[in-house]
Amino acid sequence: MREKLTEEKVFKDPVHHYIYVQDQTIWDLINTKEFQRLRRIRQLGTTYLTFHGAEHSRFSHSLGVYEITRRIISQFERNGYPDWPREERLVSLCAALLHDVGHGPFSHSLEEIFDTDHEVWTCNILLGDTDINAVLRQVSEDFPAKVAAVIQKTYPKPIVISLISSQMDADRMDYLLRDAYFTGVNYGTFDLERILRVLRPYQGKIVVKESGMHAVEHYLMSRYQMYWQIYFHPVTRSSEIILRQIFRRAQELYREGYTFGWMASPLEKLLNNTLSLHDYLKLDESLAQTAFSEWAEESDELLADLCGRFLNRRLYKYVTIDNPDETWLSEVADALLSAGLHPDYHMEIDYPFDLPYDVYRPDQKNGEKREKAPILLLDNEDRISEISVKSDIVRSITGLRQGQYHLYFPEESLQEKKAILSDRMIQLFRLNETKPTPM
């Protein structure tokens, strides 16, 4: 076991005011090159193209998750709750700090294209030949594996897992507050201090004192609002679509043997699926943006156009459509073809509910990959109930699925070919509306 710092250190943080570091291990982890790399990866991917304040990094979010976890555990220790296993403090803090360390640039988009998984990379970083591994091993030889087990949700004590992965965990609590702060919206604010005060360790789980039910309702409503107003924002979706198309096109060209005017080694290995850990750690958003900047001058017009669109924020327009069927889709694709466009790259149907976010669904069945522990209330007589049993408002929003289908496409290109298109298509694409898409 390693020592406590002789004097605690702090980071100034806009969301939590200060982040307190009290352990040498945490301090050393923060100073590793793998953790510092998170400064070069944005927390919200392409959202900054919709909300210009959202330029904050995964570095700051990771510190925030650590800090919330530290405050929860500190409250448990201060009150001497017997159901909290005090020996799990350091492994919990390390898992909180490191749970996102495997994220790559624009993770959600890239993982779809290249079928990688940031959680796997996180474990590679914890267990491989890295500075982080070296720091963790100073605690004990099996410590890296323990931290990895928490992140993989296989750790034998579920209470530790639930701190960073449940329906109301430190991860979600930080990102809702942080994303609200940096986008500038006030939908995501809730009373963190109150929630931390009503959490209790209880029989291997973390539960909420029933007197805190309204604060939890507020948290869930904030979350609901954040999903619809920030995370599912159609302009952000448009930028993600373009991002994916860039990488799809680059991979396609690579496979066809196209000679790129500019290529970087980690990117090439990404394209041909031979990424080593060393390469992966060089993949950050700086490199991705440098690539887009260079590829915007490639001879392949499609790739060049897509890169220019991303860099200069000339995003695809979207129109809301009804649930589309095959016939409809091929009709639209034909229209695009007739206008000289590539349906494979120049249209995409998006339904936000396919996103890796979810509203609160306590009744998820075990078929779901990422089932999260539900929120449990503890009443004065020590009875447990799932929150939607007690709360009308939670029950009423549980399972609401109000997504809409959107069709995305490059408006300017279609405008040029408007003469060719049928009236029906002109109306479908709303080409007669002059207003550009606002935020």
In whole angstroms, how close is the CB of 413 to its own copies at the nearest point? 16
Decide: is 84 part of the binding site for its own copies (CB under 8 A).
Answer: no
Query: How many Å apart are CA 41 and CA 45, to the nearest integer?
Result: 8
Select 127 or 185, whichever has its Cβ closest to its own copies: 185
Decide: is 355 part of the binding site for its own copies (CB under 8 A).
Answer: no
**Where do runs of H (alpha helix) occur along 312-428?**
326-338, 343-346, 387-390, 392-397, 411-416, 423-428
Which helix (H) or strand (E) segment holds residue 407: the answer is: strand 405-409
Select 146 or 237, whichever has its Cβ closest to its own copies: 237
**405-409 and 317-321 beta bridge pairing:** antiparallel
Strand residues in 344-400 grouped as ranges (E): 348-350, 376-378, 384-386
Q: Per DSSP, what are the bridge partners of residue 23?
A: 4
Select 47 or 162, whichever has its Cβ closest to its own copies: 47
Select 43 or 165, whichever has its Cβ closest to its own copies: 43
In whole angstroms, how close is the CB of 20 to its own copies at the nearest point? 9
Report which DSSP code applies to 85. -
> Cα torsion at 12, 17, 21, 26 (round to 10°)?
-80
> What's the number of CA atoms in the CB half-sphere (13 Å) around residue 263?
17
CB neighbour list of residue 336: distance below 8 Å, 6 or more residues apart:
342, 343, 346, 347, 409, 414
Q: Per DSSP, what are the bridge partners of residue 208?
A: 199, 377
- Contact segment (CB under 8 A) with its own copies among 1-9, 167-175, 330-338, 418-426 equals 1-9
- Contact segment (CB under 8 A) with its own copies among 111-119, 165-173, 200-208, 224-232 equals 224-232
Q: In the set 185, 277, 321, 431, which binds its own copies (CB under 8 A)?
A: 185
- Contact segment (CB under 8 A) with its own copies among 96-104, 175-183, 240-248, 405-413 equals 175-183
Decide: is 435 part of the binding site for its own copies (CB under 8 A).
Answer: yes
| Encoded tokens for 97 | 């700090």
Q: 350 by DSSP, 3-state: which?
A: strand
Query: How many Å apart are CA 69 and CA 91, to the nearest integer?
Result: 11
Sequence length of the chain is 439
Q: In the set 127, 152, 225, 417, which binds its own copies (CB under 8 A)?
A: 225
Decide: is 338 part of the binding site for its own copies (CB under 8 A).
Answer: no
Counting residues that bind its own copies (by CB under 8 A) gives 77
**Binders of its own copies in range 293-332 (CB under 8 A):** 293-294, 308, 311-314
Decide: is 154 part of the binding site for its own copies (CB under 8 A).
Answer: no
In whole angstroms, how close is the CB of 9 to its own copies at the nearest point? 5
Q: In the set 66, 76, 187, 360, which binds its own copies (CB under 8 A)?
A: 187
- Contact segment (CB under 8 A) with its own copies among 65-73, 114-122, 393-401, 412-420 equals 393-401
**Binders of its own copies in range 42-61 (CB under 8 A):** 48-49, 51-53, 55-57, 59-60
Q: Per DSSP, what are the bridge partners of residue 378?
A: 209, 384
